[in-house]
Structure formats: C-alpha cells, structure tokens
Structure 1
Amino acid sequence: MSLLPTRRAFGGLLGAAASATTLGAAAPRAAAAERPFQATTRRPSRRPNILVILADDLGWADLSCYGSPHIHTPNLDRLARDGVRFTQAYAGSATCSPTRFALYTGRYPGRTEGGLAEPIADQSVGLAPDHPTLASLLRDAGYDTALIGKWHCGYLPDYSPTKSGWNTFFGNLGGALEYYSKLGLGGEYDLYEGDATYHDLRYYTRVLTERAVEHVTTRAEEDTPWLLNLNFTTPHWPWIAEGDEDAAAEIVRRIRNGERRALFHDDGGSLEKYTEMVQDLDRSVGEVLAALRSSGQERDTLVFFASDNGGERWSYQWPLSGEKASLQEGGIRVPQIVRWPAVLDGRQVSHVPTYSPDWTATLLELAGARPAASHPLDGHSLAGYLRHGEEVPERDLFWRVRGERALRRGDWKYHRDQDGADHLFDLGEDPREQADKAAVRPELLDELRTAWETTDAELLPYPD
C-alpha cells in the first residue's frame, strides 16, 4: 500500500475523526466509558488462537455499541467493552465475495480473477487453490485451521476452503441460502462438511453456532494454536428469523417454481424481523464466546469481529450515506471489534482507519507467519500499533467496483459515483458525504484521482 509523501500528525486525524462516532440520533452506548486506544506493556505467553467472526450485511450502526437505538446486542457490546472498538473500519469491498478475497489473501480483490466477480454467482471463477491465504500461511506456521459458515469464494469441484488452506470446513459455498432448507440462489442444496453434502434442516444460524461451540471446546484439548473463521450468513436476506417456518416454506416453494429472485425476499422482511436476526446473531456470538471462556482459552484468543460490507434495506447506518454495493461510507464502513485479553486492555476506542487487508497482515505477524514473497500483501500490519503503540503510517485506502471508485487519504476521500461524477469529501467534518469539496480543492481532487489510477493500473481489468 502506498504511503503519503507528506503526512499530518495522526493525532489530528484522531481528533477530527472522533466526531464521526457521536453523530446521529443516539450516541454509541459504549462511548461514555471508552478511552482512546493505548497499547499496554503486557506480552503474550504464547501465539494467540485467532477467532475471526464475520457478520453478513450488518450495517455500521446496527449494534447498540455503535449507536443503534432499537437493536440490543449485549454480547457484542461486552466484546467491545472487553477490547477495542474501531470507528473508522472498512471492508475490502462493498459486496460479499471481494471482501472475503481481500481478507483471505490480504490483497486487493482486483489482483485475482475471482475477486473481479461482485459477487461470485457461478462456477466459472473462485479463489485459486495455489494462491496463498491467511489459512494456508498460518497452517504452514503450525496452526490448525477451520472455516465454519459462508465461504462464497467459489464452488466445487475446483474451489473450496479445504483447497485453500483450511483443514476443516463446515458451511455453505454460495452467497445466500434459505435458512431452513439450505437451498441457494439456483435451487441447489448448499450445506457441506468438507467437500461432501451434509443434511441438517434446522435454522442455519443455530446450526453454525452449535458447530462453532463444539469446535472451540474441542480445540482446548490440543496444544496447537488455531484459526477459526466463523462466517455467519446473518442478517443477510432472506429475512427469516428462527421459528419462521411458514415464511421459509413459501420461499422454498417459489425457488422450486423457478422464481429467480425468491431468495432476495423483495416483498418480505421488516424492521422488527431484522432486529430479531441481529439480536439472534448477538446471542450466537455470545454462546461461542462463552465456550471460549469455559474452556479456558479466552485470555489467549484474539477475537476479531466485523461485517463483510455495509448493510441494506433494513439496516441502521446513521450518519453514513449509501449501503451495500456502494462505495459511499454506508457501503464499506463496518463495525469492527478486537479483543485479546493477554495483550489489550478493554474499554478502548480507536479512530485509526483500517480495512480488511490490514488484518490479514496483522494476524500473520502476530502469529509469527510470513507472507508469501510471490504474492505481496496490500494491507499494512497493525501489530506494532496494537502491541507497542506504534503510530500507523497514513496510507491510501483503495476501493474499486464496477462503475465506482474510491480512495481515502487521511480525512480526505475521493469518490467517483455510478454516473461518472467525481467528488471530494472531508470525512473528519462530513462523514455523511454531503459537502462536496471537489470545486474548492481541485488540486487535491486531481492528486487523489491520480493516486487511484496508479493503483488501478496494477490490477486486472474487469471482463467485458
């Protein structure tokens, strides 16, 4: 990732960006008790276990610790209270597959053919098995690796987690499924253990939670450090909560009748139903964290929680504009919490901008694993920041989707929208992206546009 030729003091960024955490109808409930992040002098006694939990289409302010006025998430609030809550965290892209490519590879999605799909919808592309991943690099460094939940980086027979570094896989390969029948967008059954189908017609979030609890508990009996990617589909459409068997049956009927958008649930869902799903996600995360605690692994496990992109339809994202699939802040800024009791103090908040590839680099460094020289990372490791309080260098955060582009440098964000218009926003003063400074700062707009185009020239072009 490119570093700025000149830089402002990062403390100025923290002060300006802090305003973004308190705007809106309700300030985050965690904010009053939080203090700015400060590293401790504690040193871990061993390499950390790593639990990466991804929510699916969870909006930036859908948790009560991020300001939701109507969704109550006590378990995730507690996770934030026991660790560090990030207010300027970003997904690697605005939709499911590219963000997962960014997190698994530590690189821009556009560096790989599969990452160009937004999102993957068929068997034509996927994450190439010979591409180094977070899992394969940690496995080579002595970690046990597992993925439970949504993969969405390609389909069998050519692509799957077991072909890309995860020793264990239990979950769905595609981007969405009906929560009871496990039918995907094309009507295919989509629940696997390893590369073989596995039949369980109970509510999917419950199935994943039970499997994750079992896995975490079993790992306590081993001395080997472990990585678990726990990828929920909640609260992705269709908007069905546990107990909604009649609604599920109607969607299944429509899928089997050939209705192509049945899973999109265009005529379903509600704020109440969405609230149920997010609160169920919170309960599920709480069960997994309780298993960590009861098995004696809590202190030495780094827990990373985030969403794969911004929310949509029923999501609460104030004060951000835009939603999933957009490169406005609402499409790419996400809730993000990190807890590691052996090293990090709780009740902390960080306003440092981060995004998905940073965490690939960070987790590898903390685990003592080396990136592959053949596939340089685009992320910047935050290990020095977390462990020693080192200043994070200002650098460009880059996004590209079909028809849109964005680049963040310090507080400034360059954005080209779907109509081809270029915009410039000062996110420190205007996280809602309403005061376009393009005409006021044309030289800065040109500078950031050139920086975006320089990075873009390194990436694969989109297929026609």
Structure 2
Amino acid sequence: MTRIFFFLPGLLLFAALATGQTSTGRPNIILIMADDMGYGDLGCYGQPRIRTPHIDALAKNGMRFTRYYTGSTVCAPSREALLTGMHTGHTAIRGNFLTDEKEDPPMPDEKRTIAEILRDAGYHTGLIGKWGLGGEAHGPEKQGFHYSYGYLDQIQAHNYYPPFLYENGRKVTVPEGTYSHHLFVEKTMGFLDQRPKDKPFFLYLPYTIPHGKHVIPDASEYAQEDWPEQYRNYAAMITQLDKDIGRIISKLKEDGLDRNTLIIFTSDNGANPGFAKFFSSNGAFRGHKTTLYEGGIRAPLIACWPGMIKAGQVSEHVTAGWDMLPALCEAAGVQPPAGIDGISFYPTFTGRSGQARHPYLYWEYYTYNYNWNKPDSQLPRNWLDSRAVRFGDWKAVVKSSPRGENAAVELYDLQSDPSETTNVAAQHPDVVRQANAILSSASRPDASYFPYKQK
C-alpha cells in the first residue's frame, strides 16, 4: 500500500502528459492572428467565395463573436494593444511609423506583455510570424517569448520571399525562393514537438497572410475563377491559412492536446478597400483598413476550447483587442496587471455570469507621411488622422487635418445603422456632448512618436 502511494504522483504526472494535460492543469493557449483579414472573409461570417472549412469548424465547435474590435485600424498599434491590454489612447505606438533607421519604432521595454505574464507564471512561450513592434534588439525575445521566429519589421514583412528572418533575435538566412508562411507553419509544428512537456504553453501566431504583397506559390485553388490575379491570390492565401490551421488542429489531436488547448483566431484590422469591394471582405460595414469606421476595426473573433466553451455559440458581447490580455490571464489562472484598459471576456466564452462591460471603447489613429522628407512635401511626418469612441450603441468618429483642425463629430446609431450610413449628430446634441467628454479624457499625450516632433 505504501509503495503504491509513493509512486502515485509520478503515475498521475505520466497520465497527464500522455493525455496532453499539464502537471498544473492549466490550459495551453494558441492565439492566431491573420494580417489584414476582414470581418467578412470567412465562411462562418458570411463569405460565399473564399473557402475556410477549418476556421469555420472552429466557430462551429466554439464561440463566434460578432462585436469584436481590433486594437487599431493598422498593424503596429493593434499588436501593442493586443499584447499589453491598453487602448491606443494609452499605447506607445498609435499608428504605423518608420524611424530614421527605416524600421518600426520599438515598444518600450517596460511595457508588460501577456507573454511576460504567462512566462512568469510558468508557461513556455513562443511567437512565430510578424512582430512589428521594433527592430533588432527590440524583438519578441525582449518581451517575454522563450522562442521566436519571423519578421521583426512590418516593412520587411511585405516580402513573402525574404532573404532573412529572425530566430530568437538572431538574423538567419532564408533559402532563396522559400515562401515565408510555409516556414512559419513548419516552425509551429517544431514548437509543438519540442516544447517542455511538463509546462503549459502560450503560442502566439501572428501570421502575415493575407497581407500584401498578394503572392502565393500555388494559387490553383481558385484557378478556375474568372477573377483578376490579385483576387485569386488573396482567396488562395486565405484558404492556405485555413488549411494550415487545420494542420495545427490535427497535430493537437494527434498529441492529445486538443482537450486542454484554448484556440483563439482573429485579425489585426480590416481588409483593404479593393477586397472590401470585390469580396465584401469587411462584411456590410463601412470603411476599411486605415479608417476608424466599422470596416476598419470590426474583425472576426473565434474561441474554441472543448469542454470549456460550449459548441455552436454566437456572442454579441462588445469586446476589443485590449481585452485579450486579461481574458488569457483569467484562462491561465493569473492575475492581470493593474491599470490596464482591458476587461476579460472569459466569463462570456465559458458561460459564466458576471461579465463586466466597458463604459466605452476608444481608438486614435495617426497616419504616416511616407513622403515627409521629399523636397516638395509640406505635410508633417505624421499626424492624428482620426479618433473614435463606442459607448452603448453609439459610435462617434472625429477626423483631423494634418494641421490639427478637427472636423465636426460624426455620430452613428449602430443598433439601427451598423453600416454607419447616416450621421445623426444634429439630432442628438446631448449624445455628441457625451462623446466629446470621452474624447477629451481618453488619451494621454505621452507617445514619443505620435505626433512626431522633429528634433
């Protein structure tokens, strides 16, 4: 009897590892983020032309959110919001920007990311794809990731056949003619094989598909379609991503990890205008990437966790990218840091009561002048392009000029007008006053590059 009792902890640990459970009982977490994929690009969100059966199956087996907003309408600030739990009135990065070194401005080292929080809680952490928050010496290895592979700079990430990528902060040569996304998937499989088996893992997959340039080695999936090549490639890229997500799911099942792994799928911002028109990539919503109308910031969000998230659910809970950090903290049983803007949506996808709600959601977006140093340029290097706030069913948008003049507040009732077709500001001056009060208090003027002050 004593001997059986002595070996019992080891037997339990062996059984847990054999079934994909960690010794702590905490879930593994895989966060997949597409690049420039719109709300309407997936079959489960109404896309009729592009085939996405594996992502659709995630939605069928989990929860699909219809009122999820990205951190921003462009790449870099959206990623910081996601990783730090702060909206763009409080992030360091509030638009895309190129430093004098022709690379992304670095997210400050003191920013605490979800990877750092989970690493310190015993998780093995990895990032494979596009970082977009700083160049050499400012990569994911400095912000809590045990392993990283991919692009550091977002401009480099436009090239799907790069001469080099970065692995754990070191530049590594890529064989000529190699499609970067295929490397990302292979590195993902390697991470799952080589992870410490006695720890839970957090794997962040900010893949670059379907961001431009819109190229893919094999576009035969849509070769029969009488579409311009760019659109065939775009569709093929999304379907390739879908197939690779299917590979990841199959791998989890083979390794006995699927029952104890939370998978979240989303995008960093809305699709570009051409795809919004051709595929209805942004659904029925007005706007696109680089705008703060719904089409620029409304995105797909799917959460799947067998046994924890009831299958086949659709949620209208209003949530945003900066809510991801506290939600993942709660899933992992970790306390989120104080002072963040995010509110966990964990109660919603697990069916628990007590879901807290935001009094408002806030965005600000700075546009970058890529011709700022040309002799005939009369515009600043960047400027506050627009701000937006959602409170209740009201949405206010304010546009600004390069010289700082604000246009009148636009006001939309998203309950009756989700496509933002009718500005009702004149009919609701009291609501406009509420919006202005939020707009005047939601931002801190402490972002070094936004607006950029020429030294």
TM range, normalised to the smaller chain? 0.7 to 0.9
Question: Deviation string for 1:13-37 (max 9, x for gaps)?
Answer: xxxxxxxxxxxxxxxxxxxxxxxxx
What is the alpha-carbon distance in structure 2 between the residues aligned to residue 127 and residue 65 of structure 1?
34
Q: CA–CA distance in 1 between the matches of 2:437 and 2:318?
A: 21
- 8 Å contact from structure 1 (residues 406, 413) kept in 2: yes
Unpaired runs of 5+ residues, structure 1, are 1-43, 183-188, 245-267
Matched, 1:192 2:166: yes
TM-score by length of 1: 0.79
- Residue by residue over 1:330-377, the C-alpha shift from the partner in whole angstroms, topping out at 9 and shown as x without a partner, is 10000110011131111110011111111111111221223334xx21
Q: Is the radius of gyration larger for structure 1 or structure 2?
A: 2
| Greater mean deviation of Cα atoms: 201-210 or 81-90 | 201-210
- Quick one: structure 1 residues 45 and 369, their matched pair in 2 at CA, closer, same or farther if it must change by over 3 Å? closer
Deviation at 1:213, TM superposition (A): 1.8
Counterpart pick for 1:360 among 325, 344, 359? 325
Following TM superposition, by how much is the alpha carbon of 1:296 offset from its aligned partner in structure 2, in angstroms? 0.6
Offset of residue 380 of structure 1: 0.6
Aligned counterpart, 2:11: none
Cα separation, partners in 2 of 1:424 and 1:112, compared to 1, 3 Å: closer
Tell me the CA shift for residue 423 of structure 1. 0.8
1:343-422 residue pairs with structure 2 within 5 A? 343-373=308-338, 376-387=339-350, 388-401=352-365, 402-418=384-400, 420-422=407-409
Q: Counterpart in 2 of 1:285?
A: 245
Using the TM superposition, give the Cα deviation of residue 165 of structure 1 relative to its aligned residue in structure 2, in angstroms. 0.6
Which whole-Å deviations, capped at 9, do the CAs of 1:366-405 have from their partners, x for residues lacking one? 21223334xx211011223333133332420110112201
Structure 1 residues 124 and 413: alpha-carbon distance in aligned structure 2, compared to 1, 3 A threshold: closer
Q: Secondary structure at the match of 2:174?
A: coil
- Give the structure 2 partner of residue 265 of structure 1: none
Q: How many Å separate the matches in 2 of 1:144 and 1:191?
A: 22
Residue by residue over 1:147-183, the C-alpha shift from the partner in whole angstroms, topping out at 9 and shown as x without a partner, is: 01100000013x010011101001111114355531x
Which among 410, 414, 417 is matched to residue 423 of structure 1?
410
Out of 78-87 and 272-281, give the one that drifted further: 272-281
Is 2:219 aligned against 1:239?
no
Superposition TM-score, scaled by structure 2 size: 0.81
Q: Judging changes above 3 Å, is the alpha-carbon distance between structure 1 residues 180 and 417 closer, same or farther for their aligned structure 2 residues?
A: closer
Looking at structure 2, the residues matched to 426 and 192 of structure 1 have their Cα atoms a distance apart, in angstroms, of: 45
The separation in 2 between residues aligned to 1:178 and 1:446, in whole angstroms, is 42
Greater Cα offset, 384-393 or 284-293: 384-393
CA distance in 1, matches of 2:61, 2:395: 31
- Paired position in structure 1 for 2:142: 163
Mapped contact 1:120–1:175 kept (Cα < 8 A) = no
| Partner Cα separation in structure 1 for residue 27 and residue 331 of structure 2 | 7
Q: Highest relative contact order (Cα 8 Å, sep 6+), 1 or 2?
A: 1
- Find the aligned partners of 1:168 and 1:45 in 2 and give their Cα distance: 21
SS of residue paired to 1:101 = helix
Match of 2:194 in 1: 218
Deviation (angstroms), 1:243: 3.9
Preserved CA contact (<8 Å) 2:160 2:213? no
TM-fit CA distance, 1:421: 3.2
Deviations 1:189-218, CA, capped at 9 Å, x for gaps: 441111112223411111111111221233
Conserved in 1, the CA contact under 8 Å of 2:326 and 2:343?
Answer: yes
3-state secondary structure, aligned to 1:403: strand
Secondary structure at 2:348 match in 1:
helix
Please give the alpha-carbon distance, in whole angstroms, between the structure 2 residues aligned to 1:384 and 1:441: 34
In 1, the alpha carbon distance for the partners of 2:304 and 2:35 equals 20
Amino acid in structure 1 at the alignment position of 2:333 = G
CA distance in 1, matches of 2:114, 2:441: 27
Which residue of the other structure, out of 86, 105, 122, is the alignment partner of 1:125?
105
Q: Counterpart of 2:426 in 1: which secondary structure?
A: coil
Q: Secondary structure at the match of 1:439?
A: helix
CA pair 156-281 structure 1, distance change in 2 beyond 3 A:
same
Gapped regions of structure 2 (runs ≥ 5): 1-22, 220-227, 366-383, 402-406
C-alpha deviation, 1:459, in angstroms: 5.4
Q: Tell me whether 56-65 or 445-454 shows the greater mean CA deviation.
A: 445-454
**Residues 407/168 of structure 1: CA separation in 2 closer, same or farther (3 Å cut):** same
1:86 maps to a residue whose letter is: F
1:437 aligns with 2:424: yes
1:37 paired residue number: none
Letter in 2 for 1:236: H
Which residue does 2:300 correspond to in 1? 335
Residues 65 and 45 of structure 1, relative CA distance in 2, 3 Å threshold: farther
Mark the CA change 1:236 to 1:386 in structure 2 (over 3 Å): closer, same or farther: same
Asked if the contact 1:84/1:346 (under 8 Å) is kept, the reply is: yes
Q: Are the aligned partners of 1:93 and 1:309 in contact in 2 as well (CA < 8 Å)?
A: yes
Are 1:207 and 2:171 counterparts?
A: no
Aligned partner letter, 1:48: P
CA drift of 1:119 comes to 4.4
Q: CA RMSD in A?
A: 2.0
Residues 1:101 and 1:120: Cα distance change in structure 2 (over 3 Å) = farther
Counterparts in 2 of 1:300 and 1:165: CA distance versus 1, 3 Å: same
Residue 317 in structure 1 maps to residue 282 in structure 2:
yes
Q: 1:342 to 1:281 in 2, by over 3 A?
A: same
Task: Provide the secondary structure at the position in 1 that maps to 2:202.
Answer: strand
What does residue 276 of structure 1 align with?
Answer: 236
Aligned mate of 2:161, from 153, 167, 181: 181
Matched with 2:202 is 227
Q: Which moved more, 1:303-312 or 1:360-369?
A: 360-369
Aligned counterparts of 1:370 and 1:233: Cα–Cα separation in 2: 31
* Distance in 2, Cα, partners of 1:384 & 1:120: 39
Number of aligned positions between the proteins: 387
**Secondary structure of the corresponding residue to residue 329 of structure 2:** helix
Q: Which residue of 2 aligns with 1:145?
A: 125
Which residue of the other structure, out of 413, 431, 437, is the alignment partner of 1:450?
A: 437
- Work out the CA distance in 2 between the residues paired with 1:457 and 1:152: 23
- The whole-number CA distance in structure 2 between the counterparts of 1:226 and 1:120 is 33
Secondary structure, in 3 states, of the residue corresponding to 2:80? helix
2:77·2:91 contact (CA, 8 Å) conserved in 1?
no
The 1:332/1:190 distance shift into structure 2, 3 A limit, reads farther
Structure 1 letter corresponding to 2:307: A
CA distance in 2: counterparts of 1:109 and 1:126, whole angstroms: 15
Displacement of 1:238 after TM fit? Answer: 0.3
Report the Cα distance in structure 2 between the residues aligned to 1:120 and 1:383, rounded to whole angstroms: 36
- The Cα shift of 1:269 comes to 5.3
Are 1:179 and 1:203, in contact at CA under 8 Å, matched by a contact in 2?
no
